[in-house]
């Protein structure tokens, strides 16, 4: 597919299986306030952790095509599971497009731990991926890495259930094995999880470090845009548009709660 954009103010396209990638989008907006942004939530098929790699790749191609047709000058795959399943295929399919993916922050977690035990909260799809196995092989030597698949947690965030008792009970069930293993550093290995960070902090206490990769991804994106002379030179605040294929009536309200009250959510029909 031919990549077409006509100016440096062309938008950065960001997609996720749902609303979790908004946590990455926030870091991008903070670091690069003049960039225009398009966010695409594939919420109809969330969570990706329950899907096959082939399905996730097909969805990723479709979402990328949409964002490229919107004129995106760069693409951020703001989903650990989609990165593991599809980023290599995306880069092969769109060799001229700057594509930035996600990966669980195993390397900085290993560097930060004092007990030698790192916990990883993620979807089952991420934990089973070859990419995650390679991260452990490369960076996890000499460190005990305790993983925990968080079934149902993405769905809580998708519904905007960020402060209720049922979400807290779910988090407690997933965090306790990591604490029992003496983990002093926990990786938030899904872009949805930073939205329940406050509840996780209440469960693990002040001595446990939580790490997510949103800020690092935004910094890497800025550096790559600079290298390619693609940074927006405007001094105006960039615009952001939001698309979703969610069937839920409250989808706009959830995104407004996570991003801001002025969001007007557009409907993606595929």
Specify whether the CB–CB gap between 171 and 119 falls below 8 A.
Answer: no
Q: Using CA atoms, how far apart are residues 194 and 211, in angstroms rounded to an integer?
A: 9
Euclidean distance between the first and final Cα of the chain, in Å? 19
For residue 190, indicate whether it is catalytic: yes
Helices 165-180 and 197-204, packing angle to 10 deg: 50
Q: Which of 38, 46, 56, 79 is catalytic?
A: 79
Closest-CA residue to 173 (of 210, 121, 129, 131): 121
Residues with Cβ within 8 Å of 28's Cβ and at least 6 positions away in sequence, in order, are 12, 14, 35, 37, 76, 217, 218, 221
Element (H, E) at 44: none
For residue 150, indicate whether it is catalytic: no
Q: What share of the chain is helix, strand, coil (3-state, %, to 5)?
A: 45, 15, 40
Q: Which of 122, 190, 225, 254 is catalytic?
A: 190
Element (H, E) at 95: none
Closest-CA residue to 107 (of 26, 185, 196): 185
Which residues are known to be catalytic?
79, 190
């Amino acid at each position: 597919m031919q990549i077409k954009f006509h100016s440096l103010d062309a938008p950065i396209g960001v997609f996720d299986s749902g609303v979790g990638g908004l946590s990455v989008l926030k870091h991008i907006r903070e670091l690069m306030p003049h960039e225009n942004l398009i966010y695409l939530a594939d919420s109809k098929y969330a969570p990706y952790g329950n899907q096959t790699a082939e399905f996730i790749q097909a969805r990723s191609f479709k979402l990328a095509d949409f964002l490229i047709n919107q004129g995106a000058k760069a693409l951020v795959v703001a989903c650990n599971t989609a990165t593991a399943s599809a980023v290599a295929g995306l880069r092969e399919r769109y060799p001229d497009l700057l594509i930035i993916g996600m990966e669980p922050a195993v390397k900085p977690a290993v560097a930060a731990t004092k007990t030698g035990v790192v916990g990883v909260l993620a979807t089952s799809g991420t934990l089973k991926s070859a990419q995650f196995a390679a991260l452990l092989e490369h960076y996890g030597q000499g460190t005990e890495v305790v993983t925990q698949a968080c079934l149902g947690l993405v769905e809580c965030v998708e519904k905007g259930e960020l402060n209720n008792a049922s979400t807290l009970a779910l988090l407690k069930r997933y965090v306790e094995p990591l604490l029992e293993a003496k983990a002093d550093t926990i990786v938030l290995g899904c872009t949805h999880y930073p939205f329940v960070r406050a509840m996780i902090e209440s469960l693990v206490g002040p001595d446990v470090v939580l790490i997510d990769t949103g800020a690092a991804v935004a910094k890497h994106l800025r550096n790559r845009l600079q290298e390619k002379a693609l940074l927006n030179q405007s001094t105006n605040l960039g615009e952001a548009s939001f698309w979703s294929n969610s069937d839920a009536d409250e989808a706009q309200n959830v995104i407004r709660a996570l991003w801001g009250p002025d969001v007007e959510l557009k409907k993606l029909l595929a």
